[in-house]
Structure formats: C-alpha cells, structure tokens
Structure 1
Amino acid sequence: MKYVSTRSQTDLGSFCDVLLSGLAPDGGLAMPAFIPTFSAAELEALRGLSYPDLAYAVMRPFISDIPEADLRALLHATYRAEVFGSPDITPLTPLGESGLYLLELSNGPSLAFKDMAMQFMGHAFEYVLEKRDQRVNILGATSGDTGSAAEYAMLGKARVNVFMLSPQGRMSAFQQAQMYSLNEPNIFNIAIEGVFDDCQDLVKEVNADAEFKAKYHIGAVNSINWGRVLAQAVYYFRAYFALGLPADAEADFSVPSGNFGNVFAGYLAKRMGLPVGQLIVASNENDVLHEFFTTGSYHVRPAARVAVTSSPSMDIGKASNFERYLYLIAGADAVQTAGWWDEVGAGRPVELRDTAHWPEIQSSGFRAGKSTHADRLATIRRVDEQFGRLIDPHTADGVLAGEGFRRSGVPMVCLETALPAKFEETVREAVGRVPERPTRFVGIESKERFCDVLPNDAAALKAYLAAKLG
C-alpha cells in the first residue's frame, strides 16, 4: 500500500514512511492510495477473533512493509490484558434497556481512548526506528489526552524524544498533572500561551519548514498521523461484532469530536465495509463540526473565539482530520482539497451545501449534535442515577447526542473517551461526589511539575527545540 498527500497526491511512500513523517511536505495529510474493502463473507470471518488478531485483519491491508510475523507480534505486544485491564480490551456495556451501549476505551495507562492507538504507535515507532537505525523527535499538540497517552506510550523508548505542546491553563488539573509530573529524559512538556489550535498551528508551521524538520528529525503522533486513525478503526469492528448482530444489520455510533480523528476512524471502517449506519458527531460549545453537518459551512474559529468548556479536550476551532473526510468526499481530488484548504487558511468558510458534493455528505451517515455545560451535568447525573455508571463530560456529550439520534431496533454505541477521574471537578458538580481513581494516580496533582512555558511563536519554539537537541 502506497500513501499520497490530500493536497497534491505526492507519493509519500509506505506505512512506515508516513508513520515517521507526520504531515506531508505540502502541508497535506497522508491517505492510502485506495481503501480496501471486506466482503460480507470476509466480515463474518472476523467474528470471534481476539483483539490483536482482529487488529491484524483490519490493519494489514494498509501495512505492506512490515512482515506478517512482525506485525502480529507488535499487535499482540500492544493489546494485552495487562495493559488494558481485561482480555476484551474494549468492553461493550449496555446502558440498561435503553438501546445505548458504552464502548469502554479508557482502561489503558493514561485513562483515555487515545491509549488505544498510542500504545500501538509506541511499539511501531520502536520497531521501525530500530530497523532503520534512526531516531525521531516527536512534536505534538494536545488539548488534553493525546499528550499523556503519547508520553506514556513513549516512556523508555531510547530512539524517541517527545516534545508535547499544550494550551497553558486550559486542561483539567488531572490532565496537567498527568503530563507535567513526568520527569523523564525523553519527555519535554511545553505550555503554550494560547489555545489548542495555536499549539496545533505551531506543530504544522515547524513541519512546514522542510530543512528544520529534516535536520532535527521531527515526527508526529497527533491524530494527523495515519497510524493513529488506522488503529482506532479497529475498535469499531470490535464493537460491532460484540453486539452480536445478524449479518448486514446496521449499528450507529456517537463520538465526542474535536479534531475529527476518532469519528473519521469510524468512517474509515464504514468505507471498508463495516455496516455502520449513522456516525454522530458530538460537539460542545465549540461547534465547528456541528455547523458544517447541519448547514454545509465549515468555518474555522480563531483562537479568540474558542470557548473554554467543561469538556476541554474538545475545545478546538479547527478540526485537522476533517481534511481527510473532504478528500474522500471529493473523490480523492487533491486539487479540490487543496483549494478548500486555501480558503480555510485565508480565514474564509468552505461552503458546500449548494454544491454537487452535498448529497454525498448527507448520505455518508454523519449527523451532528451539541451540548452545553448544563447538558453535560444533567447527562452525567442521569446516567449515574438510571444506569449506575459514572461518565466523564466528553462521554456525556456523546451520550446526549446519541440519544437524540436513536433509531428503533438499531443499537447506538457511545464511545467513552476518558475515565471520570480525569475530570473530578465537573463530575463532582454533577453528582456530588468524587469519582474513584486508580491507586497510581492518587495525589498526582501535588507532585512536582516539569514544564516549560513558551509564547505562541514558531521562532521561539524552533529555538527551544534546537537548544534541546543540540
């Protein structure tokens, strides 16, 4: 399988190449030259597979440059009960008789769904770098959970340094402590004076400097990295089979969404032939995606208009992975995709409602819902009272949106994004008690912090990286 850029169809090489490179040289994102599909019979053959074996079946068509035995070994090393708490890896829990299901994705090392892909990324990076005798310096941006998941996945990896940008003061106290308390020689936390979109833009600006990127071996693990999207597609297959549905019966999924990577993985699974019906994009007050799927207008929010909310990992005004979706909607037309992103870069909206693309957008299964702080509190409280299950505020966004699009006889799977312990303040406000947390995280907020503060300035960031890397 070869990969190309969404903006020029430039040949980006194979899976291992795009795993290490992050953004394409032209600023686009890596996409496979084509999307393999499963027939109905081939899908049926996947039922009952263990999680690592299912991951192999789903991911193998996209990964032709790692030998079969090695890829299987990587996946079995990644998806272990010792890491994710049970052999199921992603347990599926019904919420009473409501027709709603909770897909548990937050039982990994950092207590967030990002572990599902990031743990694989850690093993894959180590494998590829060892084979190529290379090093990589990961430059990433986080709105909350990507940072800790990446750092936990890369701990002790001798050939990898992690430089993680986060918006100063915009994450929960737990999220900040989880990252900043790490005092490891290959982990560097950088708080940027700005919002998540500023962090993300800095990552892209550094990557756009080809000379600097090559000199300092800059790579990426954000949701822009194809390896993460591909690994996330696996749990859609796992959830579908866990429902025990007859062949070809549809299942709907509701996904808390910020950067569009998690829900795009569901769309990838659908394009591969999984009987996914609706994909509900759940937004908070930062409703860029909700606006698009309801009006056809994609209008990026400047940093000053990105609201601070109680589901902070979704406080995003520019959904980077949305470019992959529009590329597919455009029929893999890179010229069209580049034109749309020129509009985005100029601060103008991309208007698609009155174009030939709108019918395909409407038929692609995407629906959108959004919620407020009061909605989140009420949903957390109601789910706790009705089903005896505490959920975090992001998952509450997903549950509320999913409830609004339930179809009779069709299960609605709500993707859990984090354990409630990561958002104690909001959960306490909702239910009047503090959620339990794993013993290893008790008192983490009081630990010494290791984090440097930088202005929202690419030159300052480059100088920092150059000083650290020599």
Structure 2
Amino acid sequence: MQYVSTRGHTLGTFTDVLLSGLAPDGGLAMPQSIPVLGTDQLEQLRHLSYPDLAYEVMRPFISDIPERDLRQLLQKTYQADTFGSPEITPLTPLGTSGLYLLELSNGPTLAFKDIAMQFLGHAFEYVLERENRRINILGATSGDTGSAAEYAMLGKDRINVFMLSPRGRMSRFQQAQMYSLNEPNIHNIAVEGVFDDCQDLVKAVNADAEFKARYDIGAVNSINWGRVLAQAVYYFRGYFALKLPAGAEADFCVPSGNFGNVFAGYLAKLMGLPIGQLVVASNENSVLNEFFEHGTYHVWPAERVAVTSSPSMDIGKASNFERYLYLISGQDAQQTQQWWEAVAGGQPVTLTGTLHWPHVTASGFRSGQSSHAQRLDTIRRIDREYGRLIDPHTADGVFVGERLKRAGIPMICLETALPAKFEETVYEAVGRLPERPERFAGLEARSRYASELPNDSEALKALIARALVARTLGDS
C-alpha cells in the first residue's frame, strides 16, 4: 500500500508516513485506496482475538512490515496485562435500552488514546531499530493524547517526546498525570493559549522543513495515520461483540473534537463494516455539529473556544476533518487544498447545495451537542439507572446517542476516559468521588516537571534545540 497527501504529494509506504507527521505540502497521509471486505470476509473476523483482528484489519494498509513482525508487534501491544482483560475493549450494555458502552479506557492512562498509542510506541521502536534512527516527537494535547503518548514512549532510548498542552485548561488529574513524569526523554511544555494554539505550533514547526529534517521531528497526534488505523480496529471489535446476524447494521456515537476517533469509524465503514449512523457528539464547542447540521465548516478563533467540563473536546479546529473532505471530494487533492486554504484564511467552507453535499449526507454522519447541565444530568442518570459512572466526555456521547438512536438498531457509545480523570465534574454530578487505580493515588500532590512557553513557534524551536543538545551531552 502506498500513501499520498490529501494535497497531492506522494508519500511512500506505511513506515514512511508513520514517522513523518504532516506531509511536506502540509496535508495528511491517506492510503491510495481503501480495501473493502465482503460479508464472508467479515464473518471470518468475528471470533478472532483482539491482536489477530487488529492484524487482519491493519494488514492491507501495512505492506512494508513482514507478517511475522507485524503479528508480534500487535501481540506485544494488545495484552490483558496492559488493558485489564483479554477483550481489550469490552462491550457493556446499558440495561435493555439498546445503548452500549464500548470500554476503551482500561489502558495505562485511563483514556481511549492508549489503544492506538501503545501500538505506536512499539511500532516506532521497531522501525527506528530497523533503520538505526532516532525521532523527536512533537505533539499537542487537550488532555489525554499527551499522557497516552508519554506513557507509551517511556524508556524508549531512540525517542524523545515534546508535548504541548494549554496551560490551566486540563483537569487536575490530566495535568498531574503528565507533569509528574520526570524522565530524560519526556518534555512537557505548557503553552499560553488554547489547544488550537498548541496544534498550530506543531504545524508551524513541521512547516519548517529544514528544522524538521535537522531534528527528526515526528508526530503522534491524531494526524498520524498509524493512530487512525489502530483505532479503526475497535469499531470492528465492538460490532462483532453485539453478535448480530451477518450484514445487520449498528450505529456508533463518538464524542469528538478533533475528528480523529470518529474518522477511524468512517474508515471501518468504508472497509465494509455495517455501520449505519456515525454520530458525532460535541460539547459547547460545536464546530463539527455546525457542519453536519448546516453544511458549513469554519475554524473558531481561540477567544471563542469555551472552557468546558469536557475539556478534551475544547477544540475549534478539527485537524482530521481534512481527511474527510478529501474523501467526499473524490480524493481530489486540488479541491481539498482549496478548501483548506480557505479555512486557514478564516473563510468558511460551505457544501450545502454543492455537488459534494450528497456525499456528506450519504456518508451516514449525524451530530448533536450537549451542555454542562446535560452532562451532569446524564452522568447522574446513568449512575442511578445502570450503576455505571461515566466521565463527562462519554456523557456527551451518551446524551447525543440516546437522542439519535434508531428503533431496533443498537447504538454503541464510545467511552473516552475513566471518570477518575475528571473527578471534579463527576463529584458535582453524583456527590462522590469516582474510584481510581491505586497507582494514581496522591497523583496531584506529586512534583511537577513542565516548562512554560509563550505562543511562539521560534521560542518552541529554541526550546527543542536546547533540550536535545542537553540530552546528547548527558548521554555522552
């Protein structure tokens, strides 16, 4: 399988795009084609273990890692000891409501990002050893990606992680989980601004081709195709756990700010998984909801992005949305670039009434949003009726999923994190603190290690250069 940029550049193989982050033309990596599995092929996947299922879903996109090595990477990644059970992503019904929770938050950092990030950690290590290379990962997080990346890369000698986060805009648990790491290859950077500012800094550094090449800059954000591909697997797993007749539809509701998690579901659907609706659940920052309801996408400026009780979705610019536009344009890189240049220039992209809008409606996306009060009520009600505590992002998904559920069609709501990561909001809802794993006891009281930085790409590049020089001197 070969990859191209959403803006036309030829990129190479899976391992080429795994390590590269943004394409040289500023676009995102996409496979040249998406294989479609027939009903009989899907049935053969139904009873596979999680690592074997991951192999069958991912293998068509990964031609440059030998079969034996890829199987070993996936076996090493998806272990019961890492994710709490052999199922890796168990499916739990909410009574007889027809709603289900796909449990994605039993990994090392208690968030769905672990599912893909653990794979990236092992895949990076494998490729870097094979090619005798090093990489310096530059990423941005609104809360969970940073922790998942850092825990996946701990102790990996060929990898340094520079993770940007918006200062003061994550939960206390999220901040402490990241900033308490005192490891030579982990660098936390608190930026003055919102998540979109952090994301823009990552893109600005990637746009400096000379700096990127000199310092071997890579990416683990949802722009990384390896993450999207690994996330597609649990849509297959969740669907098969329903034990539906062959070809029967199921719907999925996905809390989403950056469009990466739900785009993985769209990839699974394009591969032939019988997904009916893909429901995008937004919080008050409803950029994606505006598009799917009204056909207009535009970036919200930082001052418009609200601070909410589901902070990992406090995003005004959905980076993975470019991949979706590329597909509905018929893989027209020139059209995609024109759209994204308009977005970057502050102009909206309106598709309603154009020849592209029918492709949007046919893709099965629907959307909705919820407020702080609705999140609290949903957390309280799910706890009371089903004895299950959920975090505020998952509550966004359950709230929207309930309202868009079709009669007789299962609705799988993707869990995004354990409630322990957002205990202030959970306490406000139910009057008690959620349980947390023993390894995180007293987390907030631990010492913190993070640099503060203005929203300035030159200052960021200088920090990266200094840190790498210091690491080199320390290792010599």
Both structures adopt the same fold (TM-score exceeding 0.5): yes
Paired position in structure 2 for 1:49 = 48
Mapping of 1:56-455 within 5 angstroms? 56-455=55-454
Cα offset for 1:359? 1.1
Give the aligned residue type for 1:182. Answer: L
Q: Distance in 2 between matches of 1:421 and 1:297?
A: 36
After superposition, the C-alpha distances for 1:108-144 in whole angstroms (9 at most, x for unaligned) are 0000000000000000000000000000000000000
Q: Distance in 2 between matches of 1:5 and 1:87?
A: 36
Structure 2 gap segments, 5+ residues each? 470-476
Q: Distance in 2 between matches of 1:274 and 1:178?
A: 36
Cα offset for 1:469? 1.4
Query: Which contiguous aligned blocks of 4+ residues in structure 1 show a shift greater than 2 angstroms?
Result: none
Q: Distance in 2 between matches of 1:295 and 1:390?
A: 33
What's the TM-score, normalizing by structure 1? 1.00
**Secondary structure of 2:160 counterpart:** strand
After superposition, the C-alpha distances for 1:303-358 in whole angstroms (9 at most, x for unaligned) are 11100000000000000000000100000000000000010110010010010111
After superposition, the C-alpha distances for 1:170-196 in whole angstroms (9 at most, x for unaligned) are 000000000000000000000000000
Cα offset for 1:408? 1.1
**Secondary structure of 1:235 counterpart:** helix
**Secondary structure of 1:137 counterpart:** strand
Query: Identity over the aligned pairs, expressed in percent?
Result: 76
**Secondary structure of 2:123 counterpart:** helix
How many residue pairs align between the two structures? 469
Q: Distance in 2 between matches of 1:158 and 1:411?
A: 45
After superposition, the C-alpha distances for 1:202-229 in whole angstroms (9 at most, x for unaligned) are 0000000000000000000000000000
Paired position in structure 2 for 1:7 = 7
**Secondary structure of 1:390 counterpart:** coil
Q: Distance in 1 between matches of 2:122 and 2:351?
A: 40
After superposition, the C-alpha distances for 1:22-78 in whole angstroms (9 at most, x for unaligned) are 100010000000001101110010010000000000000000000000000000000
**Secondary structure of 1:58 counterpart:** helix
Q: Distance in 2 between matches of 1:106 and 1:184?
A: 24
Q: Distance in 2 between matches of 1:468 and 1:76?
A: 34
**Secondary structure of 1:45 counterpart:** helix
After superposition, the C-alpha distances for 1:229-271 in whole angstroms (9 at most, x for unaligned) are 0000000000000000001100000000010000000000000
After superposition, the C-alpha distances for 1:369-427 in whole angstroms (9 at most, x for unaligned) are 10000000000000000000000000000000100111111100000000000000000
Q: Distance in 2 between matches of 1:339 and 1:67?
A: 38
Q: Distance in 2 between matches of 1:6 and 1:360?
A: 17
Q: Distance in 1 between matches of 2:170 and 2:129?
A: 34
**Secondary structure of 1:211 counterpart:** helix
**Secondary structure of 1:436 counterpart:** coil
Give the aligned residue type for 2:61. Answer: F
Give the aligned residue type for 2:5. Answer: S
Cα offset for 1:11? 1.1
Paired position in structure 1 for 2:35 = 36
Give the aligned residue type for 2:2. Answer: K
Cα offset for 1:279? 0.4
Q: Distance in 2 between matches of 1:465 and 1:84?
A: 33
Q: Distance in 2 between matches of 1:299 and 1:65?
A: 37
Cα offset for 1:363? 1.2
Q: Distance in 2 between matches of 1:257 and 1:401?
A: 12
Give the aligned residue type for 1:2. Answer: Q
Give the aligned residue type for 1:347. Answer: G
Give the aligned residue type for 2:36. Answer: T
Paired position in structure 1 for 2:472 = none
Give the aligned residue type for 1:159. Answer: R
Q: Distance in 2 between matches of 1:37 and 1:55?
A: 16
Q: Distance in 2 between matches of 1:79 and 1:38?
A: 23
Give the aligned residue type for 2:41. Answer: E
Q: Distance in 2 between matches of 1:210 and 1:360?
A: 35
Give the aligned residue type for 1:377. Answer: L
Q: Distance in 2 between matches of 1:166 and 1:321?
A: 19
Q: Distance in 1 between matches of 2:403 and 2:152?
A: 36
Structure 1 gap segments, 5+ residues each? none
After superposition, the C-alpha distances for 1:71-97 in whole angstroms (9 at most, x for unaligned) are 000000000000000000000000000
Cα offset for 1:466? 1.0
Q: Distance in 2 between matches of 1:357 and 1:444?
A: 49
Q: Distance in 2 between matches of 1:400 and 1:7?
A: 36
**Secondary structure of 2:45 counterpart:** coil
Cα offset for 1:441? 0.2
Paired position in structure 1 for 2:24 = 25
Q: Distance in 1 between matches of 2:235 and 2:370?
A: 24
Q: Distance in 2 between matches of 1:146 and 1:83?
A: 17
Q: Distance in 2 between matches of 1:180 and 1:467?
A: 19
Q: Distance in 2 between matches of 1:98 and 1:368?
A: 20
Give the aligned residue type for 2:229. Answer: L
